[in-house]
Structure 1
């Protein structure tokens, strides 16, 4: 049996085992020997919850750890924290470091913000050993510092709310709610009345259609009146021409009668000696008749002249009146506002024209006609007296009488046509007045509806729209802040869940071991503790019942004799 041991082989196996264990530990710990790190320093006012080996995160990503914590050498009360992060971490000059709490566990870590992409990377200042990152207040520190102010503000708000919600203000709020309810009911009534307003507007539209129909009828009547007026003007022109011809014929007849009288005077002067007594008597009678006929003829001529002048003046007035009617008919379209006054003036002018025509017939034409009839009778007597010598004068007088009768007949027809035209115009005016009255009532009703019903409704709608606009503006102004708060809350929740998941993943093995080994021990400890508590309870009970026996002994003393 060999008793020498091979120590070299044993030592080699031992070294190999140690190296293997070391390599396994390095692999298990995920140690990277070739990793490059960058070191920075940060000065915080407070580092509560932070320690060596605490995590350093860049935008939520784990990039390093805290390597040292110490008071600042300047003795300003600040705490200098040295962190070591990966070399490729883009820490820039405007990056800010904060101490944040990780999830719901409360573990503190250093959070570095990325900064602006166009800002250069952070480097050490001259005379400083390490680059320094600007420290910023953490959310927890901000809340801690702002907590007293927030509490004061909350107390102030509560006091204001208490003051606001006193008995008087509560009564006011109740009244406001009652007023709001009444306003809502009034708005509902207004909406109901709006349907009635719509029906009224429909009626107004129907009235407007009827007004348009009446206006069309009035326009047609005015057109017909214009046509008849033109016809009447043509007939009056013809009547004027006939009157002129009659006047010329009367002048010729008067000249022939004067020539005849001169010839008769000459004959009587030259042949007086040869004429008989009977002829002298006849000539005397003839002179008397001619002398009587001369003034009558002059009066007839003057009457015809005055009648011609009056007829010309009446014709001028009729022409002016018809021209005014035509102008008024033309202005009816664009000048609706002045149509009523023009129609009233036209109606007055038409009535004046009818009155003047009646006066002309009663005062001028009737005496002229009676004078013409008297002249005709005198001429008949003269013709019967003179015989064949004055046949031509009789024929001329007959033509004159026929012309005068034709003139009178034409004037009567013209006046009849003018009266018919005036009646048509008056009927059209009455229809226009009725249409204007209907339109006036329609417009008055529409104005009343607009002023009494639609105007308050429009004001209420404007007030509601203004309130909605202000509310929408307020909500729109607050939406960005609300969205930012929601984004920050979601980011914090996501970070918390990620941290919780990482913590659970890291502590899974430990939890399994704790569950397998420690929990049974704790269970046994709990059972033993319960037994101990029971024993203590019993002991206390015994002490309470008989403290002397418990302290001394429960055995009876033995005395020696």
Structure 2
């Protein structure tokens, strides 16, 4: 009877200690949970490598862990990941979440970054009853989302390389390489000639530069000469033009004054001069006739009539 009573007492003490330990553990859990904040993250991509208890870091600093991973029943395209982070973690407006692989182990973690300095914390309650941190595609997510396009481009590149490296193109490339080799040999053989040509070209360029410099000096001298001697010449030329203009004006005035006299001369004097010329021509003809008579018959020819010729009768 006493032995059974001892067992009951020991059992009671043990149960009391276990109850006290459970209460203490719950108290510690509640005490530790008060310094952490829960957030939901909705990923529209695979969360492969992520598990309950996976690390959550903020800019590379460990700040919490994953509490729960489940499909979102309202939209199966999304995966809801609930995390717990330390209350002092600056989860401010602008903070985003990405899934980042850890080395080649296949294990992933959640990376938080992008908080804006001075911005308020994320406190808007989401559909899960806790604030929601927006996501952005990580390197792995971008690679997986762009994988079909990348494979298509790789296929196209492979096809083009196959066409490029066809037998015909390979023969053409071999011919091009042969020609390049021949050209390189020819250039090597003509190296001295090319060097001499380059030297002559350098000399020609220097001479051209000297000539350009001399032309510049000549242009400067010409400008000085025009400035010093051209201006007096221009002044004299201007005076000459002014004098010529004055002379032309005077000549125009003289012609205007003489125009009435020229009209009278052309209307009156010219006809009288014509009549005088005709009279002189008649007088000249008369004098010519008198001179002819004097030559033929002497002075008598002017006062008497010409003698008739004597006629003799035949047979008497």
Which structure shows the higher strand fraction?
Answer: 2
Normalising by structure 1, report the TM-score. Answer: 0.30
* TM-score where L is the length of structure 2: 0.49
